[in-house]
Structure 1
Amino acid sequence: MRTVIISGASSGIGWATAQRFAGGGDRVYNLDVRAPADPPNPAVRWIETDVADWSAVRSAVTQVADAGPIDVVIANAGISVRHGVLELTEADARRVIDVNLLGVLGLWQAAAEVMVRQRAGVLLATASVNGTRGYPFYADYNATKAGIVALCRTFALELSPWIRVACVSPGAVLTPMQLTEYTPAMLDEVNAKIPAGRHAAPEEIAAAFHYLASTEASFLTGQELVIDGAETAGATTAVFGTGTTIEAVA
Structure 2
Amino acid sequence: MRTIVISGASRGIGRATAERFRRAGDHVYNLDVRPPDGPSEGIPWLEADVADWTAVEAALAAVHRERGRLDVAVANAGISVPHGVLELTEADARRVVDVDLLGVLGMWRCAARYMAAAGGGVLLATGSINGHRGFPRYADYNAAKAGIAALCRTFALELSPAVRAACVSPGAVLTPMQLAEYSPEMLDAVSARIPAGRHAAPEEIAEAFFYLASPEARYVTGQELVIDGGEIAGGTTSDHGTGGLTPVTRQKR
TM-score range, shorter chain: over 0.9
Q: Tell me, in whole angstroms, the C-alpha distance in 1 between the residues paired with 2:23 and 2:246.
A: 39
Residues 59-78 of structure 1 mapped to structure 2, 5 A cutoff? 59-67=58-66, 68-78=68-78
Q: Distance in 1 between matches of 2:155 and 2:177?
A: 28
Partner of 1:82: 82
- Equivalent AA in structure 2 for residue 166 of structure 1: A
Q: How many residues align?
A: 249
8 Å CA contact 1:83–1:245 kept in 2: the answer is no
Gaps of 5+ in 2: none
Name 2:46's counterpart in structure 1: 47
- Once the two structures are TM-superposed, the CA of residue 248 in structure 1 deviates from its matched residue by 5.4
**Where does the alignment leave 5 or more consecutive residues of structure 1 unmatched?**
none
Cα RMSD after superposing both structures:
1.4
| Structure with the bigger percentage of strand | 1
Which residue identity lines up with residue 30 of structure 1 in the other structure?
Answer: N
Tell me which residue corresponds to 1:215. 215
Cα deviation 1:129-175 (Å, max 9, x = unaligned):
00011211111000000000000000000000100000000000011
Instruction: Give the distance between the partners of 2:133 and 2:49, measured in 1 at CA.
Output: 28
Report the equivalent of 2:96. Answer: 96
Structure 2 counterparts to residues 1-250 of structure 1, below 5 A: 1-42=1-42, 44-67=43-66, 68-237=68-237, 239-241=240-242, 244=246, 246-247=248-249, 249=251, 250=253
Query: Aligned partners of 1:41 and 1:133: how far apart in 2?
Result: 38
Identity of matched residues, % = 67
Shift of 1:41: 1.4
Quick one: which amino acid aligns to residue 120 of structure 1? G
Counterparts of 1:11 and 1:194 in 2: how far apart (Å)? 24
Deviations 1:148-204 (A, max 9, x none): 000000000000010000000000001123234433222111100101000000000
More off after superposition, 170-179 vs 68-77: 170-179
Q: Distance in 1 between matches of 2:194 and 2:12?
A: 20
The one-letter code matched in structure 1 to 2:248 is I
Contact 2:60 2:111 in 1 (8 A): yes
- The CA deviation at 1:227 is 0.3
Give the conservation status (yes or no) of the 8 Å contact 2:123–2:165.
yes
Deviation at 1:27, TM superposition (A): 0.4
**Structure-2-length-normalised TM-score:** 0.95
Q: Give 3-state SS (helix, strand or coil) of 1:79's partner.
A: coil
SS in 2 for 1:40: coil
1:39, 1:53 → 2: CA distance?
A: 26
Other structure's SS at 1:66 match: helix
Question: In the aligned structure 2, how far is the partner of 1:248 from the partner of 1:239?
Answer: 14
Partner Cα distance (1:109, 1:85) in 2: 31
Note if contact 2:101-2:148 (Cα within 8 Å) is conserved in structure 1.
yes
Provide, for residues 60-109 of structure 1, a one-character-per-residue CA deviation record: whole Å limited to 9, x for no partner.
01111112110000000000111111121111111101100010000000
Check conservation: 2:71, 2:122, Cα contact below 8 A. Answer: yes
Q: 1:89 to 1:180 in 2, by over 3 A?
A: farther
